[in-house]
């Protein structure tokens, strides 16, 4: 049995909250550079260059990439042979979020009750997803989600008879309706299968895969490429001001589902799609 102290988790989450909000991942920076070269619109190229400059300033000055520093979404992958001592794991995670948002001078955007709307003033609680696997691994990914993009995300319970075409139509409809709101160029996470909530989690996890990589499933990879082309043909473009770079990538994750259902979720990530990963 491997033992991890709760204080170590707090320290790691604090660090990841600041890193995710200030350091744009290399895959996205590389995508900006690639799309500047092939973007059809002069204004679109200028916007992509500005986003690149913004990311450079944020990294060098350790300041937020965006003023909406998001609600902290935390993915925990934990081996079943790991024991947390010295405190409750979720308390440790939330304390890390609390410290990270305070020390990083990050905006605190979480309200205690969705109806009363009173701010918690420390950006907690986080939304935490756990995956228990064999062994002694302990990995955490912090993915702050701003709500310009989150509000544009959708779940649809399709009929099985709607099939693949129904999935394609729903993805394109969701992106088209989102327009400029999620701060394109976007990343489109698509979760297919499972149940309503499972498809939504799949679509959010899909955003964590590096831009420029494809599904290991050949059929899914082909669908990703087809959807990316169709999304970019919408002409929404960088910042929604027109162009050929509406999305940098489309990522699909699937899960077995019931014979009577075809759940599909589209979770849109903004141009930053912030996340940072660490291990103990």
Would you state the pLDDT for residue 236?
Answer: 97
Would you state the pLDDT for residue 36?
Answer: 96
In a domain, 249, yes or no: yes
For residue 47, name the pLDDT band (cuts at 50, 70, 90).
very high
Split into its structural domains, the chain has a count of: 2
Locate 119 and state its tokens.
Answer: 């701010």
Q: 253 and 127, same structural domain? A: no
Q: 73 and 14, same structural domain? A: yes
In a domain, 78, yes or no: yes
**Is the Cα dihedral 239, 245, 248, 253 positive or negative?**
positive
Alpha carbons 195 and 77: distance in angstroms, whole number: 21
Q: Which domain holds residue 8?
A: 2-20+65-145
Is 218 exposed, middle or buried (CB count within 10 Å of its CB: 0-12, 13-18, 19+)?
Answer: exposed
Q: 179 and 121, same structural domain? A: no
Would you state the pLDDT for residue 60?
Answer: 96
Alpha carbons 252 and 267: distance in angstroms, whole number: 10
- The CA radius of gyration of the chain, in Å to the nearest whole number, is 19
Q: 112 and 6, same structural domain? A: yes
Peptide bond into 86 cis (omega under 30): no
Q: What is the CA 275 to chain-centroid distance, rounded?
A: 7
Q: 194 and 242, same structural domain? A: yes
Q: What is the pLDDT of residues 206-257, one digit of tens each?
A: 999 999 999 999 999 999 999 999 999 999 999 999 999 999 999 999 999 9
In a domain, 53, yes or no: no
In a domain, 174, yes or no: yes
Would you state the pLDDT for residue 2?
Answer: 95
Alpha carbons 195 and 213: distance in angstroms, whole number: 26
For residue 119, name the pLDDT band (cuts at 50, 70, 90).
very high
Q: How many other C-beta atoms lie within 10 A of the C-beta of residue 93?
A: 24
Q: 140 and 215, same structural domain? A: no
Q: 212 and 86, same structural domain? A: no
Q: 140 and 250, same structural domain? A: no
- How many Cα neighbours within 13 Å face the side chain of 73? 17
Q: What is the pLDDT of residues 105-114, one digit of tens each?
A: 999 999 999 9
In a domain, 154, yes or no: yes
Locate 196 and state its tokens.
Answer: 């309503």
Would you state the pLDDT for residue 153?
Answer: 97
Give the single-character DSSP code of 2.
E
Q: 123 and 12, same structural domain? A: yes
Q: Looking at residues 167-189, what average pLDDT do you find?
A: 98
pTM attached to this predicted model? 0.94
In a domain, 162, yes or no: yes
Would you state the pLDDT for residue 240?
Answer: 96
Would you state the pLDDT for residue 52?
Answer: 97
Q: Looking at residues 63-83, what average pLDDT do you find?
A: 97
């Amino acid at each position: 049995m491997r033992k991890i102290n709760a204080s170590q988790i707090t320290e790691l989450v604090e660090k990841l909250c600041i890193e995710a909000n200030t350091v744009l991942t290399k895959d996205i920076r590389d995508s900006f550079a690639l799309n500047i070269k092939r973007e059809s619109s002069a204004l679109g190229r200028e916007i992509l260059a500005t986003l690149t400059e913004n990311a450079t300033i944020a990294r060098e000055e350790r300041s937020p990439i965006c003023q909406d520093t998001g609600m902290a979404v935390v993915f925990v992958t934990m081996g079943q042979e790991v024991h947390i001592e010295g405190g409750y794991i979720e308390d440790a995670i939330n304390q890390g979020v609390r410290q990270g948002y305070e020390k990083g001078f990050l905006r605190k955007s979480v309200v205690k009750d969705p109806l009363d709307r009173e701010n918690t003033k420390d950006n907690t609680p986080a939304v935490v997803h756990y995956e228990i696997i064999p062994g002694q691994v302990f990995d955490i990914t912090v993915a702050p989600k701003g709500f310009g993009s989150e509000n544009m995300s959708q779940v649809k319970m399709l009929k099985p008879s709607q099939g693949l075409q129904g999935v394609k139509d729903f993805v394109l409809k969701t992106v088209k309706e989102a327009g400029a709101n999620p701060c394109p160029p976007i990343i489109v996470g698509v979760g297919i299968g499972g149940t309503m909530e499972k498809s939504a989690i799949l679509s959010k996890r899909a955003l964590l895969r590096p831009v420029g990589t494809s599904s290991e499933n050949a059929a899914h990879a082909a669908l990703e490429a087809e959807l990316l082309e169709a999304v970019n043909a919408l002409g929404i473009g960088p910042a929604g001001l027109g162009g050929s770079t509406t999305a940098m990538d489309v990522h699909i994750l699937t899960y077995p589902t019931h014979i009577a259902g075809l759940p599909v979720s589209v979770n849109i990530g903004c141009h930053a799609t912030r996340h940072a990963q660490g291990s103990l």
